[in-house]
């Protein structure tokens, strides 16, 4: 098995899956009905990416594990997502701060995977990314419009948007972890995306009359399965029914 590629793909997949799980919570809870529809679209996009990526991860592994086996039958220590996406997201400001940062990162990541300067591009990841790049471009657009409105709306929304950004910011650093050298030239080097992603996000933050948080980065570890305590509960909820009926079809 190509362990490095499996881990890399798993990271991408789990980021998308856990994001979709958090986004699904918003359906019926958004500030306005139109936004319920919008957030459901975004969650569906993320879930679609997760499914494609998990299926591919299963193929790389070569042990016959399906998307569902990987999503439902791994414990939290085997999940490879960053901490950014697993933390609770029940405040609309937090949801938009996270979407802005995460989708901007995904946009650069998927773009590089699909069309970046890669000598021995992984073609499957490139195909998945080529489809996803349009989706996340829309997510960036959606989040940008909301961050502008909340940052430059009322005094209350400005304060709330700023604290949301402050809360998310420490978790950005983990997105840009180093690339396993054996993958050089085959997939996007996430550490190389750092400046471009942060400069895009900073531009929106500044235009929204907010300040770019100056906070020390949180410790990483998500890519090695070292998560916050929140992920266990998220997975318990997500996996419980599937695990209660071993081997059943749904």
State yes or no: residue 21 binds other proteins (CB under 8 A): yes
Nearest to 99 by CA among 137, 127, 71, 129: 137
Instruction: Name residues contacting other proteins, limited to 196-235 (CB under 8 A).
Output: none
Size of the site for other proteins (CB under 8 A): 52
Closest separation in Å from C-beta 87 to other proteins: 16
Alpha helices in 25-121 (DSSP H): 33-61, 67-72, 83-86, 92-115
Q: Is 30 in the site for other proteins (CB under 8 A)?
A: yes
Element (H, E) at 126: helix 123-151
Among the listed residues 18, 128, 150, 164, the single contact to other proteins using CB under 8 A: 150
Select the span of 81-89, 117-125, 155-163, 194-202 touching other proteins (CB under 8 A). Answer: 155-163
Return the range that interacts with other proteins (CB under 8 A); candidates 40-48, 56-64, 81-89, 215-223.
40-48
Burial 123-154 (b: 16+ CB within 10 A, else e): ebbbebbeebbebbbebbebbbebbbebbeee
Alpha-carbon distance of 186 to 166, in angstroms, equals 34
Radius of gyration of the chain (CA): 18
Token couple for 87: 């933390």
Rounded Cα distance, 113 and 201, in Å: 20
Closest alpha carbon to 232 in 122, 32, 13, 83: 83
Per CB under 8 A, the list member of 65, 73, 130, 153 interacting with other proteins is 153
Q: Rule CB under 8 A: say whether 38 interacts with other proteins.
A: yes
Q: Are 200 and 175 in contact (CB under 8 A)?
A: no
* Stretch of residues binding other proteins (CB under 8 A), selected from 110-118, 146-154, 188-196, 215-223: 146-154
Query: What mask of x and - would describe binding to other proteins in positions 82 to 101, judged by CB under 8 A?
Result: ----------x---------
Shortest Cβ distance from residue 34 to other proteins (Å)?
A: 4
Catalog residues that contact other proteins under the rule CB under 8 A: 17, 20-21, 24-25, 27-38, 40-41, 43-44, 47-48, 50-51, 54, 67-68, 71-72, 92, 141-142, 145, 148-150, 152-154, 156-157, 160, 237-238, 240-242, 245, 248-250
């Amino acid at each position: 098995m190509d362990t490095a590629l499996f881990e890399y793909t798993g990271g991408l997949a789990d980021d998308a899956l856990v994001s979709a799980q958090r986004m699904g919570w918003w359906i019926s809870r958004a500030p306005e009905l139109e936004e319920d529809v919008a957030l459901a679209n975004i969650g569906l996009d993320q879930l679609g990416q997760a499914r494609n990526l998990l299926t591919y991860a299963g193929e790389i592994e070569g042990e016959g594990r399906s998307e569902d086996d990987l999503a439902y039958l791994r414990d939290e220590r085997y999940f490879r997502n960053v901490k950014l996406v697993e933390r609770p997201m029940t405040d609309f400001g937090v949801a938009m701060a996270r979407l802005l940062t995460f989708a901007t990162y995904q946009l650069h990541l998927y773009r590089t995977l699909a069309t970046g300067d890669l000598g021995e591009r992984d073609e499957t990841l490139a195909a998945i990314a080529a489809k996803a790049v349009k989706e996340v471009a829309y997510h960036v657009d959606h989040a940008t419009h909301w961050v502008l409105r909340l940052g430059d709306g009322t005094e209350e929304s400005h304060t709330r948007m700023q604290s949301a950004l402050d809360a998310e910011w420490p978790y950005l650093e983990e997105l840009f972890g180093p690339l396993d050298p054996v993958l050089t030239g085959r997939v996007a080097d996430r550490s190389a995306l750092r400046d471009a992603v942060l400069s895009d996000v900073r531009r929106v933050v500044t235009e929204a009359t907010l300040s770019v948080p100056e906070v020390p980065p949180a410790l990483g570890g998500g890519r090695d399965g070292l998560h916050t305590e929140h992920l266990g509960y998220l997975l318990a909820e997500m996996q419980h029914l599937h695990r209660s009926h071993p081997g059943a079809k749904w």
